[in-house]
Each structure stands twice: as structure tokens, then as C-alpha cells.
Structure 1
Amino acid sequence: MMDLENEKIDNLVARLDELVRWRPGGDGSYQDPNSALSRIQGKTNHVVMGRRGSGKTRLLSELSREAEEKDVLVIKFGVEEAKELAYPDILIQILRSFVESFHSRLTEKPDLLTKDWFLGYSQKVTHPVNEYIKGKKRKELLPKVEKLRDRLNALLEESDEIDAEYQRSESGEKSEELGIGGGVEKSGKDARFNRTTREMSSESRTSLARQKENKKEKVERLLLDFKDLMEGVAEHFGSCIFFVVDDFYFIRRIDQPPVIDYIHRICKDSSSFLKIATIRHRSQLYEEKDLRRGVVAGHEAQVVDLELPLGRLDSINRFLKALWRGVCEEVGIEDPESIFKGQGFEQAVLASGGVPRDFFGVVKTSISISRERNEDSVGKMRVNEAAQQYAEDTKMPELQVDTEEGSGVERELRDLMLFDIVRFCRDIKKKNCFHINKDALDAEPGIKRLVDLLVDARLIHLITDNTSNSKRAGRYSAYFLDVGLYAHPQRRGENSIDEVAFWVRDDAGRLKNLERSPVYQPRKYGQLEELARRVRDKEVDLKDAILSGSIDMSDTDGKTQDMIDQLKLEMPVTTDE
């Protein structure tokens, strides 16, 4: 056992804190799951899929580092910094960022007496003609870059003017609605004036909509100019270009197809390639309405999936163990396993759901809890406490942040769905795993989307998306309830959870223990909407309701507990068993 009260553990906790919030430019060894780095370096378009904390940003950072070493020009943009923008403004911002990067690359000069400086000087001496031609080409490209940058800046300024005019129109209409006569109906000239003002407001709205459509057309006309510039830059540097877009899911779903479609058309039939990182079920890469827009995953862009289903727990265990050893070596801990006792490490792997950031977060918290208890190592019980705290402090708040703006109804239904699943598994069946019939799920696409959103939020975890059961007909998807929602140490005796060892396989390689998991019968989407209407006015904090079975409710006021009990009565159990 290792004493947790020492400087190396202090450094470890600090390092884990950094890794939980890793940012581009961070250091540390990189573990490559599924050979993702070697795949994404290929000269084709790629879409990296993974939940929050699965390593998408780190993978793109490693791609940038290795690509630059191979003289590939990497142009990066993080959508989160512009996530408030709608289409086409978000596209204009991305294009402007790309053009700014072109300008920086064409004008940058190496520092005096550095390796790059000596290399450039050597090229001028040994290949003066080539360097002259390159200098001439650079002078031809810079005016094109600056012209395109100015046009994009003008379009963004136009956006600001349109928004300002819209705000003035809205403000004027609201003032007219309020009136100055205390609600007294106007007549004659005043009445005609009011009608004219409302009509002008309507005309103004139409005009603003027309201006926005015109702006989309202006952006469309820039495509060939951008493509021409891009090919000139690639030729000048003698390399291909990787356009890297991180956090693509922050773009509104309705705007994602036209944005990725535009960038894909820029890259098509060229030496430039698109590398996008996103979350699977928060992304819409393709649509076919009046026009076909977007990219078809697996055809026009290859998918690099950073997720491993929990059914492959052995592979997840090896991956996280390698990560853990690397982190411990960084701070001088020679025996990483000595920090845990019993099933502590294995429980931390389960509590992470296979997501590296969540693994680091749970381990960091469990070390802190163990130190508070004056313990010399981390066991399963402390990991469970940490998982519950991590779910409450990190996962549940992220669940609210990750919901798309303007989808309050979906957020409400999603939270109700989570409450229903947690109650079914934890409070009624007392199991940590459950099945859903695939046909039943496919028959309710709205419910399927809610389940997918909960998987993306790391509150339920996919074990396998296709399994059978000797006791039941049909095909099933199997899921694991997040440890933080069921495994608080105070759940003992008749309230304890039967933790299904779902990862155990029989001689044929099948997950034999999954048959012990109950079948959850999803509600109809309309039923869930009706339930939402009925509980909306009950002032129940669904977060408390979801977590209530995993925390001590003795400090919860009676009113809240009554509301939660009422909510349970409103939602009778649904199961096909």
C-alpha cells in the first residue's frame, strides 16, 4: 500500500486536475485507442466521434503536431468560441479563421538563428531561383488573402447591422403594443398611424429575412474564390492542407448540414481534407430537403470512433491502465497499482464508462475522499462515493449545458426519461443493467433520441447494441446505469443493488450474465409528453429526484420528498416482463 499523504500524491492530484480539463498545448504521453491517430492522418476526410472527455481534442492536437512534422499545413478552428452564431454567420466565422491562418502562414518569419531560420537561409543560398519563385508567388497570394478576408469581415459587419435593425424593429413593435393611452382605443389619424407602423414592422421583418437570404447567396459566391486561394496556398507550401474543426456539435443541428457541406465542397477534388470532431447523437451531418446537403458518413467522410462499448470491458481496462501508468510515471510514482486496494481500480474503470476524462475525475475525487478518511489507499467504496459526487457536480450540470438552445421541451422529456430509467433499474428492479427491445426503440424515434442523448451525457452506457436472450424473443440493446446514480455506500440490505457482472463471457464469447438484466419498456413519446405536462407544475427538482435514491435524503425537506413521491405515482412502472 502507498501512503496517500505525500508529495507525489499531491503532484498526482494536480496532474489529474489538469487532465480533467486538458487543453491544446498540454503535455503528457498520449495513448492511441484503436490506432485512431494513424487513421486520421490519412489523406481523406474524417469525422471523429466520441462523448465528452473521450479524447477528441487531444487526438486533433496530436494530429496537428505529427502532421506539421510531415509538412502538412494544419488550419484549426474551435466552434465553442463562436457557438452563439447561427448560419451563415458561423460559416463566415470559420472561413475567416481559415483565411487569417493563411495570412499568418504567408507572412510569418522565423526567429533569427533558429533551426527554421538556418533552413530558410540555406534554401536561399542553394536554390536561389526556387526561393525567388516562391517569394513571387507569396506576393501574388497575399492580396487575394487580404481581399477575401475583407469580404468576409464585411459580411460579418453586415450581420451586425441586420441584427441591430431587427432589434430596433422588435423594440419599436413592443412600444406600439404598449401604447401611450393606457389601452384606450385610438381612432382617426392615430389609428391609421398605428396600422401603418405595424405594417412597416411586417415589411421590415420581410426585408430582414430577404437580407439574410442575400447574405447566404454572397457566401455561396465566395466558394470558388476560397477554393482557388486554398489551392494556391497548398501549391506555395508544397503540401496538402488539413482543415481541423473541433467541437462541431456546438453548431445548431439545423445548421450543421449546410456548414459541413460548404467546407466539404471546398475540399472536394483537391489536396485539402476535412477533419471534424463531434458527438455522435448531437450531430446531423447530412440532410436531403430541397437540396442534398452535408456529407455521408462512411462514404464522403470516414468515421473514427473513440468509443468502446462496455461489452469490451477488457479492452477498456487495458487502455485506462496504460493511461494511468503513464500519468503516475510523470509524477514519479513507480507502483501505480499500490494506490488502490481490492476492486478499487476496476470499479473506477466501471465508473468512468470507458471515458478517460471521467476516469481521471472519479479517481481524483476518490483519492481526496480517502485522504479525508485518513486511509492509505482507494477502495471500491470510496470510488462509489466519488462517482456519485462526480455525477452530481459534473455530469448532471453538463447535461443541462449540452442541451441545444431552444429545446426546453426536449430537455424536460430527457430528464423525465432519465428519472424513469433510474427508478426502474435502481429503485424497483435493483439492477445496474437493463435491456431495451430494438424494435420497440426503433418504433419510437423520439424516445430513441432521448436514450441516445443520455448515452452521450455518460449517464447510461451502451454495453452492446445487439444481443439476444434465451428467455425472450427479439433483439435487444443492453445498457449500464452510471455508477454515480446507483452505488452510494448507504444503499445496503434490501436497498442494495445487484451489480451484474455483465462483462463475463461464456465459452462461446457471449456476455452470459446479461440475461439477468430486466427489460425496460420505453413509454410512447406522446405518453412522456403528457407526463411532462402533468408534472410541470409540481415544482419537482428532477435532479434531486434522479439522485434521491443514491444520497442520504434525511436532510431533504419534507415538501421535496412529497413532490418526488407524487412524481413516482404519476409515472407507473412500465415493463414487458
Structure 2
Amino acid sequence: MKRADMDGLREVISENLRVQLGNAPLDYVSVGTALQDAKSRQNHAIFARRGCGKTLLLHHSSRTLKPDLKSVYLNCEDFKRHSFPNVLIEILASIFRELDRNLTGWFGKKRELKKIVSEILEKLRELQVSADIQDEQIKRKNSSEGTATLEAGFDIDHVKLGGKNEAKEREETERSFSIHTEKLQELDRWLPRLKEYLRDIFKQSRVVKGLLLQIDDLYHLKRTDQAFVVDYVHRLCKDLPIYFKIATLRHSSTLYVDREGQPIGAQERHDYQPIDIDYTFSNFKKTEDQNRAILVQFGEQAGLKPQDIEGLFKGEGFARLVMAGGGVPRDVLSLFLELLNDVDVDGTKKIGKDEVRLLSRNNFERKIEELKQDSKADEQDDLIKGIYLIRTFCLDKKSNIFVIEERILQQNDTWRALIYRLLDYRIIHNCGTALTHKSVPGTYQAFAVDIGSYAHFRKLEKRFNEIDVSDPGAKERMRSAPILEPIKLDGLLGSLPANLEQSLLEEDGEEFEDQ
């Protein structure tokens, strides 16, 4: 491959590593019915970890809609620091501003339609001012109510990771929901009229007969706000030709809650259907094939053939690249760009296991930084502490795989919250469910600690049992993996270093060789 070809490939990937409006249009590499579902007249929630293609799926589906169906896209990251209910008002205003911009092209040149949308936007401006005044009154009444949150600190049986008192947390959460309900009263009273406006718009339209509301990255909103936003959007869409497509992290989102018998939000399988586009190590071949297809698509845009892309790797290099990226396409591509620097044009130096291993630590550092940026300040320390304890457990047991009894994950909410949040942040990776263990009864889930958390340590050769998840016999070997229980982390708490993050990322001498 010529250097110009590799430079072209690098440029295409670099420009599209993060999908944004205005980028060159990319096709979503669909496996299964994800793309078909995203375009359908049905409510959906799209679940996947960051970098798996949620935004790309929304944009690609918008470009391929039928003529009588249009979409409105908004990203919740724009509203991440907004207070409730202003965050909901801002979301509604964004939707109707987009309708206003496209009114003529979508619904025709009718003065009455323009007047309706203008009245809606004016009402939303009034509601926003009213919400600010009410919010200030509530703050004066009880200043502590503004800090209420759904996320409890992690209190994992005997392992206490800075968790708040459970009773106090429950009280704060209930108070927060009470305040939210109070603030919503005016918006709720206006909802029937708002829906009448929308019916009039669709009734007078000769072309557009349906609308998709694409709400991306819901997890950026405060956890206590999410269910209320989803609840209002769901009620707005009901009995109208409007359908929501919410894209988010599954374990960092609250789409539905039940408070004192009152359902708030939208319930999975009842009010919306899930679209899961995550690719895990549980089916490694499927995950590997998906990432290969994405890389080949980028190669085609750069004028390269599939065999040209394959020629950049040697041995198990690509499989190890997918492992180091946790199966997440963006992480895999990001690592690939760095590795491409050292590939020789004459093919003498290719991407293999060793090359991937040496860079995996950099990727681990980026994940820690993303965790710090996305998580709330009061939970960052708990998450970092959880990472340190789990990694220390794996190193002590000399295994990159650990298993947790499914009963514990089902019954212990805070333990499950920690594990699933670390899955969302790609610090640990799902490797299998409903596994039986060779030594202890019960059913287990298997997880792999990220390669970057241990691959740079020295002298691990022949003393570290790294199960290769790409190996067909990996699942059988997982049945002998060490069992992680909350109480087993208790003994590690006394030896926590003063600076956990520094200890996680510091070097440990010489590199070790792959077996």
C-alpha cells in the first residue's frame, strides 16, 4: 500500500471518528434490524456504550426516511447544565424551532401554520421565565433541594465506597420528584392545547404525515430529570403521528420510575421498543465482524479494497485490536489510527498483538478521562475506587476475567450500579451470561477487565492467566475464573493508595512479552 493511500485512509477516519451534523454522510453498518427499526413509526430507545454508533444510526436513518416522514434531531449534551423544568422547555423549544425552519418545505406555504408555531414558541418563552421565578422561590425555601440526585454513593455490602446514608438519599430523591411534579403543573395544563396545535399542523399537511423526534445522548441530563423529560415527550407523542427515538447509555439512564404508584416516564416493551446496538465479548466473532465491516467501509471511501485493509495486520493483530478497544468501534478506530503511524509502506511492519498491547494503556487513560468528564463530581471518586479495587482483585488472582453471581447482580442494587456503570465507561467488558462455574453452584456473568489496565505491567508472562476472548474455547475457561464477591473487596480497602487515579495510570517498569 502506498503512503498516499494510508494518508487518505487516516484522513477519512479522522474526519468521521465522531459523527456530527455537517460531516460527510456515512452509512451505518447495520447488523440485524437496527436501521429498519430506527426509521419505523414506533417509539424506540437505542442503547449502546459511547462510540458504538448511536448518533450515526440516527443520522443515517434520517437520510433514508420515506418522503412523508421527517425527523427532528437534538443532542441533550446541549442541555446538560440546565435546571428542570427549563431543560424540558428548552428541548420542546428546539423541536419547534426546527419545525419552524422547515415549515414551508415540510408542510407547505400556509400562513396559519406559521402562526401556530409562533404561538407555541411564544408560550414556551413565557413558561421558561415562569420556571426561573418558581425555581428561585423553591431554592429560597430549601436550598438543599437543588442538589438532590438519583445516584446514591456505592455501598456494596461490606465495601463502602463513600456512599450516602440510604434513608437520606431516598428522602432527597423523593423531595426532588415532589419539586419536579410541582414545576410541571403549568406545562401539564398546556399539554392538551399543544397537542391540538400539532393535530392542526398535520391535518393541513399534504406531504408530511409523521415526525420522528430523535433525542440523542439522554444520559447527559441530570438523572432526576430524565424520567420527567421522557414522560412529557411520551405523552406529547401519544395519539399523534409523532414517534420518539431516544439514544442513550442503558445503565446511566432512567427512562421510567414509579413514585407512590404514579408511573413517570416510558416503560420498556410497553411504551417503547429497545434497539440494542452494543457489541460485546459475549459474541466476539459478531463484534469482530462488525468492526471489520466498519473499517472496510472507511477503506472504500479512501479508494481501498478489503484486501488492502486486511494487509495492514498480521497474525491475531485485528482480533487483539478489537479486544483492546472493548469491541467499541470508536475506540478500535482511534487505536488503529495511532498504530497506522508505524506501518511500513512495503508491508514489512504490520499491526500485530505486541503493537496493540503497547498502545492499550493510552486508551485506558482516555476512558478514565471520559469517566471524569461525564460522571457527576460526587460519584467520580467512587467509580475510580471501584476500578482500582476490581483491577487489584484481578491482578491478585492473576486473571483478566472475573465472574459475579447473577443473584448478587439482581438483588444488590448498588453493586449492580457500580458494575454496569463501569460497563458503560468501557472499563470492564461483558463476556458472557448464565455461565455455570466449575467449583461453585449458581449461574454467573463473566467480565473482562480492560487490557489497558494491566498490559503495560512487567513480569506478567507465565504468571498472569489472560483468557483470550477471541478463542473458541474462552467460554469454557471462564467457568474456572475467580469469583468476585462484595466481601472479597473488603480486605483491599485498608491498603488503598492516597492517589487512586495516579496509581491506576502509573507505569510499573519494563514491558512484558506476549506469550
TM-score (norm: length of structure 2): 0.83
| Partner of residue 82, structure 2 | 85
CA distance in structure 2 between the partners assigned to 1:210 and 1:284 by the alignment: 17
Question: Is the 8 Å Cα contact of residues 266 and 272 (structure 2) preserved in structure 1?
Answer: yes
CA distance in structure 2 between the partners assigned to 1:544 and 1:367 by the alignment: 29
Distance 1:376 1:553, change over 3 A: closer
After superposition, give the CA deviation of every residue in 1:9-56 in whole Å (9 maximum; x if it has no partner). 122222222232221333334311332101222211000001100100
Question: Is the 8 Å Cα contact of residues 441 and 522 (structure 1) preserved in structure 2?
Answer: no
CA distance in structure 2 between the partners assigned to 1:168 and 1:260 by the alignment: 28
SS of the residue 1:91 aligns to: helix
CA distance in structure 2 between the partners assigned to 1:309 and 1:346 by the alignment: 13
Out of 30, 37, 40, the position equivalent to 2:38 is 40
Alpha-carbon shift at residue 66 of structure 1 (Å): 1.2
| Partner of residue 498, structure 1 | 465
CA distance in structure 2 between the partners assigned to 1:384 and 1:57 by the alignment: 29
**Which amino acid in the other structure matches residue 363 of structure 1?**
F
Q: Counterparts in 2 of 1:34-113, with a 5 A limit?
A: 34-67=32-65, 69-107=66-104
Distance 1:449 1:211, change over 3 A: closer
Out of 267, 281, 286, the position equivalent to 1:296 is 267
CA distance in structure 1 between the partners assigned to 2:236 and 2:71 by the alignment: 15
CA distance in structure 1 between the partners assigned to 2:182 and 2:437 by the alignment: 57
| Partner of residue 380, structure 1 | 353
| Partner of residue 15, structure 1 | 12
Question: Is the 8 Å Cα contact of residues 54 and 355 (structure 1) preserved in structure 2?
Answer: yes
CA distance in structure 2 between the partners assigned to 1:268 and 1:399 by the alignment: 36
CA distance in structure 2 between the partners assigned to 1:146 and 1:154 by the alignment: 13
Question: Is the 8 Å Cα contact of residues 383 and 418 (structure 2) preserved in structure 1?
Answer: yes
CA distance in structure 2 between the partners assigned to 1:251 and 1:161 by the alignment: 21
| Partner of residue 391, structure 2 | 422
**Which amino acid in the other structure matches residue 416 of structure 2?**
K
CA distance in structure 2 between the partners assigned to 1:505 and 1:347 by the alignment: 14
Alpha-carbon shift at residue 230 of structure 1 (Å): 2.0
Is 1:542 the counterpart of 2:514 in the alignment? no
Distance 1:39 1:154, change over 3 A: same
Out of 465, 473, 480, the position equivalent to 2:433 is 465
Alpha-carbon shift at residue 58 of structure 1 (Å): 0.3
Question: Is the 8 Å Cα contact of residues 47 and 302 (structure 1) preserved in structure 2?
Answer: yes
Question: Is the 8 Å Cα contact of residues 463 and 479 (structure 1) preserved in structure 2?
Answer: yes
SS of the residue 1:477 aligns to: strand
| Partner of residue 403, structure 1 | 375
CA distance in structure 1 between the partners assigned to 2:453 and 2:14 by the alignment: 23
After superposition, give the CA deviation of every residue in 1:102-143 in whole Å (9 maximum; x if it has no partner). 22222459xxxxxxxxxxxxxxxxxxxxx9xx65xx222222
SS of the residue 1:297 aligns to: coil
CA distance in structure 1 between the partners assigned to 2:80 and 2:431 by the alignment: 32
Question: Is the 8 Å Cα contact of residues 49 and 280 (structure 1) preserved in structure 2?
Answer: yes
**Which amino acid in the other structure matches residue 468 of structure 2?**
A
After superposition, give the CA deviation of every residue in 1:172-219 in whole Å (9 maximum; x if it has no partner). xxxxxxxxxxxxxxxxxxxxxxxxxxxxxxxxxxxxx99987652211
| Partner of residue 475, structure 1 | 443
After superposition, give the CA deviation of every residue in 1:53-111 in whole Å (9 maximum; x if it has no partner). 010000000111112x43312122111111111221111001111111222222459xx
Q: Counterparts in 2 of 1:58-207, with a 5 A limit?
A: 58-67=56-65, 69-107=66-104, 135=109, 138-160=110-132
| Partner of residue 486, structure 1 | 454
**Which amino acid in the other structure matches residue 65 of structure 1?**
R
Alpha-carbon shift at residue 496 of structure 1 (Å): 5.4
| Partner of residue 309, structure 2 | 336
Alpha-carbon shift at residue 339 of structure 1 (Å): 1.0
Question: Is the 8 Å Cα contact of residues 500 and 516 (structure 1) preserved in structure 2?
Answer: no
SS of the residue 2:102 aligns to: helix
CA distance in structure 2 between the partners assigned to 1:379 and 1:486 by the alignment: 18
CA distance in structure 1 between the partners assigned to 2:210 and 2:461 by the alignment: 63
Question: Is the 8 Å Cα contact of residues 431 and 446 (structure 2) preserved in structure 1?
Answer: yes
SS of the residue 2:213 aligns to: strand
TM-score (norm: length of structure 1): 0.75
Distance 1:211 1:287, change over 3 A: closer
After superposition, give the CA deviation of every residue in 1:522-561 in whole Å (9 maximum; x if it has no partner). 2499x69x949x96xx6x222222234xx3459xxxxxxx
Is 1:351 the counterpart of 2:357 in the alignment? no
Alpha-carbon shift at residue 322 of structure 1 (Å): 1.1
Is 1:31 the counterpart of 2:4 in the alignment? no
CA distance in structure 1 between the partners assigned to 2:208 and 2:352 by the alignment: 56
Question: Is the 8 Å Cα contact of residues 311 and 503 (structure 1) preserved in structure 2?
Answer: no
CA distance in structure 2 between the partners assigned to 1:515 and 1:465 by the alignment: 11
Looking at secondary structure, tell me which structure has more helix per residue.
1
Question: Is the 8 Å Cα contact of residues 26 and 56 (structure 2) preserved in structure 1?
Answer: no
Distance 1:464 1:493, change over 3 A: closer
CA distance in structure 1 between the partners assigned to 2:85 and 2:363 by the alignment: 38
After superposition, give the CA deviation of every residue in 1:436-464 in whole Å (9 maximum; x if it has no partner). 11223334211110110000000100011
Query: Larger Rg: 1 or 2?
Result: 1
Alpha-carbon shift at residue 238 of structure 1 (Å): 3.9
Alpha-carbon shift at residue 379 of structure 1 (Å): 1.6
Alpha-carbon shift at residue 382 of structure 1 (Å): 1.3
SS of the residue 2:21 aligns to: coil
CA distance in structure 2 between the partners assigned to 1:543 and 1:367 by the alignment: 29
| Partner of residue 485, structure 2 | 521
Alpha-carbon shift at residue 275 of structure 1 (Å): 0.8
CA distance in structure 2 between the partners assigned to 1:513 and 1:210 by the alignment: 50
Identity between Structure 1 and Structure 2 (%): 28
CA distance in structure 1 between the partners assigned to 2:84 and 2:273 by the alignment: 25
Distance 1:10 1:472, change over 3 A: same
SS of the residue 2:236 aligns to: helix
| Partner of residue 254, structure 1 | 224
Q: Which moved more, 1:492-501 or 1:341-350?
A: 492-501
Alpha-carbon shift at residue 164 of structure 1 (Å): 7.1
Alpha-carbon shift at residue 312 of structure 1 (Å): 0.6
Distance 1:19 1:104, change over 3 A: closer
Question: Is the 8 Å Cα contact of residues 50 and 279 (structure 1) preserved in structure 2?
Answer: yes
Moved over 6 A (4+): 163-171, 209-214
Q: Which moved more, 1:155-164 or 1:470-479?
A: 155-164
After superposition, give the CA deviation of every residue in 1:309-357 in whole Å (9 maximum; x if it has no partner). 3121111111111111111122223311111122111100111221111
SS of the residue 1:34 aligns to: coil
Count, aligned residues: 470
CA distance in structure 1 between the partners assigned to 2:450 and 2:43 by the alignment: 34
CA distance in structure 2 between the partners assigned to 1:369 and 1:420 by the alignment: 35
CA distance in structure 1 between the partners assigned to 2:198 and 2:488 by the alignment: 50
CA distance in structure 2 between the partners assigned to 1:25 and 1:61 by the alignment: 10
| Partner of residue 563, structure 1 | none
